[in-house]
Amino acid sequence: MDLSKRITGLTGDGDDGWGIFIKARQMKAAGKPVLELTIGEHDDRTEQIILDKMHASASGGHTGYAMVPGTDALRETVAKRIEERTGVRTTPANIMITPGGQSALFASHAAVCDHGDTAMYIDPYYATYPGTIRGVGAVPLPVQARSRNDFQPDIADLEAAITPGVKSLMINSPNNPTGVVYSRETLEGLADFAKKHDLWLISDEVYDTQIWEGEHISPRALPDMKERTLVIGSMSKSHAMTGSRIGWVCGPEAVVANLITLATHTTYGVAGFIQDAAKFALEQGETFEEKVAAPFRRRREIARELLQGQNSVKLIPAGGAMYLMLDIRATGLSGEDFAEGLLEQELIAVMPGESFGAASAGHIRVAMTIPDDQFKDAFARLIKFAADK
């Protein structure tokens, strides 16, 4: 018996770029001292005070079915957080709690795209984007941002790419994989494009607490965008709660009401004790979030210092997130060949730019996710590896 084309075709013809990551893990399992700069996993794990709250909630009995849209308390806390940070009126009715940001991305596309509709997104992109779109039966349409423009999307490229049947545009700022923070000019252009073509805008903002330069602007806060924007949030990056799998969608009340119906037939909500821990974590405020983000700010500065005085590796301006995008085209290698060679020769694992779309070919993504001293050593060896090519 055959499996569905939907499930077997999620990743298209490849592995969505996970090959180097899988190989590095296999090498580590075999006892090799691989330094992993691949995925966005904090080296400092979830704070003990959050785990203590989670444990107390579970021990206190919050282990049964939680309300499908999320607990009233957490929805209220998330809504308050968003309103305070954006100035846009937000209520619990605008919030749907999900099992992580990935689930929120899937639910958002399921809400706005019918089978056969087209969903646009910016290339470079997080590796799951095209599979998420295929998973709801829609057709993925990447539009390349360009390295020479520091990967800020160009509205002219979007206009050239749009076709009949496009229903949505997904953006991500601060951006994974590039670390780029979209400028106000870029976001206003994207908002105008969405309004002109009557598109839903899906804004992945899971790195909104990791801003090193510039400002984070949610497109939901731009004029006439509240009713056509779905914002994705998550506790994973802001509070180092990756394994807890808790995020949200913020959008118009009518959309959220239908997302609740979707969750009733799919995830059936998120564990109550995890929601209680998430509420507690959010209540710790911006100082706590800055503490979680601080290692990545430090390591960005370490990398910038090491890159001075050489021309083998160029840093794409990294205004936010826990990643650095490096242009290694001066070496004459593709991102895939560079990553393969670096892993084999130096036992350092990075993600090839090709993992994130055609626009970042000839680049690599470095996750700043190991302790400072190890990161400094690995990054220096990476630069030397490039210089020797």
Q: Find the mean pLDDT for residues 316-345.
A: 97
Phi, psi of 343 (to 5 degrees): -65, -45
Judge if 301 and 343 occupy the same domain: yes
Are 81 and 103 in contact by the 8 Å Cβ rule? The answer is: no
What does the pLDDT look like over 124-155, one tens digit per residue? 999 999 999 999 999 999 999 999 999 999 99
Burial classification of residue 379, based on how many CB atoms lie within 10 Å of its CB (0-12 exposed, 13-18 middle, 19 or more buried): buried
Distance CA 283, CA 275 (A): 12
Judge if 361 and 341 occupy the same domain: yes
Judge if 150 and 82 occupy the same domain: yes
Q: What per-residue confidence (pLDDT) applies to 17?
A: 60
Q: What per-residue confidence (pLDDT) applies to 16?
A: 56
Q: Write down which residue in 240, 263, 284 finishes a domain.
A: 284
Q: From residue 203, give the alpha-carbon distance in Å to each of 43, 346, 360.
A: 27, 37, 21
The total domain count for the chain is: 2
Are 357 and 120 in contact by the 8 Å Cβ rule? The answer is: no
Whether 54 is in a domain gets the answer: no
pTM of the model: 0.96
Whether 157 is in a domain gets the answer: yes
Q: Find the mean pLDDT for residues 354-377.
A: 97
Q: Find the mean pLDDT for residues 187-204.
A: 98
Judge if 146 and 279 occupy the same domain: yes
Distance CA 340, CA 35 (A): 14
Judge if 302 and 329 occupy the same domain: yes
Judge if 192 and 173 occupy the same domain: yes
Q: Write out 275-301 in H/E/C secondary structure.
A: HHHHHHHHCCHHHHHHHHHHHHHHHHH
Judge if 145 and 185 occupy the same domain: yes
Which CATH number covers residue 316? 3.90.1150.10
Q: From residue 371, give the alpha-carbon distance in Å to each of 163, 368, 379.
A: 46, 8, 12
Pairing relation of β-strands 200-204 and 229-234?
A: parallel
Rg over CA atoms, the chain? 21
Are 225 and 214 in contact by the 8 Å Cβ rule? The answer is: no
What does the pLDDT look like over 154-172, one tens digit per residue? 999 999 999 999 999 999 9
Distance CA 89, CA 83 (A): 6
Residues composing the chain: 389
Q: Find the mean pLDDT for residues 62-68.
A: 97
Judge if 319 and 277 occupy the same domain: no
As a whole-number percent, the residues of the chain with pLDDT over 70 amount to 99
pLDDT range class, residue 256, cuts 50, 70, 90: very high
Distance CA 125, CA 16 (A): 11
Q: What per-residue confidence (pLDDT) applies to 159?
A: 98
Are 68 and 79 in contact by the 8 Å Cβ rule? The answer is: no
As a whole-number percent, the residues of the chain with pLDDT over 90 amount to 95
How far does the chain reach from its first CA to its final CA, in angstroms?
Answer: 50
Q: Is residue 18 pLDDT above 80, yes or no?
A: no
Burial classification of residue 156, based on how many CB atoms lie within 10 Å of its CB (0-12 exposed, 13-18 middle, 19 or more buried): exposed
Distance CA 23, CA 355 (A): 14
Q: CA 111, 179, 140 angle in degrees (round to 5)?
A: 35
Average pLDDT, the chain: 96
Q: Is residue 265 pLDDT above 80, yes or no?
A: yes
> What residue spans of 204-271 are helical by DSSP H?
235-238, 253-264
Which CATH number covers residue 80? 3.40.640.10
Beta strands in 81-220 (DSSP E): 95-98, 118-123, 139-144, 166-172, 200-204
Measured from the Cβ of residue 358, the count of other Cβ atoms closer than 10 Å reads 11
Q: Is residue 368 pLDDT above 80, yes or no?
A: yes
Q: What per-residue confidence (pLDDT) applies to 151?
A: 98
Judge if 105 and 139 occupy the same domain: yes
Q: What per-residue confidence (pLDDT) applies to 14?
A: 58
Q: What per-residue confidence (pLDDT) applies to 133?
A: 97
Judge if 12 and 94 occupy the same domain: no
Distance CA 325, CA 178 (A): 5
Judge if 142 and 275 occupy the same domain: yes
Q: What per-residue confidence (pLDDT) applies to 13?
A: 62
Q: What per-residue confidence (pLDDT) applies to 12?
A: 73
**CB-side exposure of 84: number of CA atoms within 13 Å?**
10
Residue in this structure with the two tokens 């993504």, named with its chain if needed: 365
Amino acid at 174: P
Q: Write down which residue in 268, 284, 300 finishes a domain.
A: 284
Whether 58 is in a domain gets the answer: no
What does the pLDDT look like over 273-320, one tens digit per residue? 999 999 999 999 999 999 999 999 999 999 999 999 999 999 999 999
Are 256 and 227 in contact by the 8 Å Cβ rule? The answer is: no
Q: From residue 3, give the alpha-carbon distance in Å to each of 192, 267, 269.
A: 41, 22, 27
Q: Write down which residue in 223, 251, 284 finishes a domain.
A: 284
Angle, helix 335-346 to helix 19-29, in steps of 10 degrees = 10
Distance CA 100, CA 234 (A): 6
The residue range of the domain holding 212 is 64-284
Whether 56 is in a domain gets the answer: no
Judge if 181 and 301 occupy the same domain: no
Distance CA 327, CA 313 (A): 6
